[in-house]
Every structure is written in C-alpha cells, then in structure tokens.
Amino acid sequence: MVVYSYSLLCILSQVFANILNLNLEFPEGEESLSSEAEGSVRALLCLDQEKRAGLREIQVRNKANVMLEAINQPAQPCGV
C-alpha cells in the first residue's frame, strides 16, 4: 500500500509540474482529441485567473463549434 501511495504521489506531482510549466501532451492517433477539446483543456488550465476560462465559457465555445459544424455540412434532403 505504501509503494502504491508513493507511486501515485510521484505521478500526481509530475502532472502538477507539467500543468504549471504548460508542458501539455495530448494523445495522438485513434486516441487523439479534437482541436476544440485541446483548446478547452488549455483554456481551463490557464495559470492567469483573469484569462482562465470557466465552465460556462467552455460550454458556450463548444456549442458554437457544434453549430458551426452543422452549418458547414451539406444539406440533406428531408427524410434521408
């Protein structure tokens, strides 16, 4: 149990250090995030609290992206 706790503490310490240094690595390939998701994570982790996005800003941003994607899709005939 002590080894597990120490390992977890080491991992969390490294994650925290990466956030403070803005050393963010996102998965690639099949596990990759959309650019919007990466942008949302970066906005939430901004160190300057005056510039940091809140949950509402992220929700508004994501809704706007979904609406823009829908607008950019080719029109589909009704009933298809």
pLDDT tens readout for residues 8-47 = 888 889 888 988 888 888 889 988 888 888 888 888 888 8
**Number of CB atoms found within 10 A of residue 31's CB:** 7
> How far is the C-alpha of 71 from the C-alpha of 80, rounded, in Å?
17
Q: Tokens 């929700």 — which residue?
A: 59
Query: Domain span at residue 47?
Result: 8-25+33-71
pTM of the model: 0.56
What are 48-76's pLDDT values in tens digits?
A: 888 888 878 877 777 766 655 656 666 55
Residue 38 domain-assigned (yes or no): yes
**What is the structure's pLDDT at 60?**
78
Structural contact between residues 53 and 37, judged by C-beta atoms closer than 8 angstroms? no
Residue 3 domain-assigned (yes or no): no
Domains identified in the chain, total number: 1
